[in-house]
Amino acid sequence: MPVDAQQLQKIGLFKDLDLPLLSQLATHSRLTGYDTDETVFQEGDALPACLYLLAAGSLRLTKVSESGKETILRLLWADEMFAAPAMFGNGQAPATATAIEPIEVLTIERESLLKGFQEAPELALHLLGIFNQRLQHLHNRVHGLVSERAIVRLIHYLEYFAASAGTEVVPEGQRLRSHLTHYQIARSIGITYEECVRLFKQLKGVVTYQRGGKITILAPERLAAIVQHQAD
């Protein structure tokens, strides 16, 4: 469906831009809805030259190895960009994107966005900052997969989602707003489903896991102590 300047201004990436520039971007933008478990694109698909931004809902990016093992690369929430090769690379989807819940995806044509960079260089700098953060996160993740024990990777994963997607206060402690299943976590931090279940049992009294991926951190300070103990 078409997009107008007011809709773009509600998105964090564009909130500080003037309406005339947003109107120019809007004429080359489109908002597309997807249902739960619907695929936005498959790994290797040819993508149109656009900026992809998740406008609403949550999205899962996965990659399948030659052996058939699926790895969850990222879980995304509203206002996050994805599919960078469509904008800056070879135009091939680097992973499979699947809706976790009903979502809306905003696409903006590359040429229109480049023209926007000329009129508002701060937009280009902002995009570069976001991609730099993503590269840093990827570096930290790869380092963790190589050097950290599984329980430390799990704790860092939970802490990441607590910081990025937020928590809500419940009587027991801080519940992650993101629902993360054993399968999702295992595929994200490089362990088996069974090991993931075992690690949560090991963290009993510090973290609770309920059906459907509802995770509550009971004692954040004890999580930090466990990480420190593993480092000693």
DSSP 66-110: TTS-EEEEEEEETT-EE-THHHHSSSB-SSEEEESSSEEEEEEEH
pTM strictly above 0.85: no
In angstroms, what CA-CA distances link 140 with 143, 156, 157? 5, 10, 11
pLDDT of residue 197: 94
Q: Does the pLDDT value for residue 36 go beyond 90? A: yes
pLDDT of residue 138: 59
Per the model's pLDDT, the better-predicted residue between 24 and 132 turns out to be: 24
Q: Does the pLDDT value for residue 8 go beyond 90? A: no
> What band does 33 get if pLDDT is binned at 50, 70 and 90?
very high
Q: What angle do CA 159, 153, 231 make, to 5 degrees?
A: 100
Q: Does the pLDDT value for residue 65 go beyond 80? A: no
How many other CB atoms sit within 10 Å of the CB of residue 43?
14
Per the model's pLDDT, the better-predicted residue between 231 and 144 turns out to be: 231
Top-confidence range, 4-18, 60-74, 107-121, 196-210: 196-210
pLDDT of residue 67: 75
Mean pLDDT of 135-164: 72
> Could you give the CA distance from residue 19 to residue 148 in angstroms, rounded to a whole number?
47
pLDDT of residue 218: 94
Share the mean pLDDT of the chain.
84
List beta partners, residue 96.
62
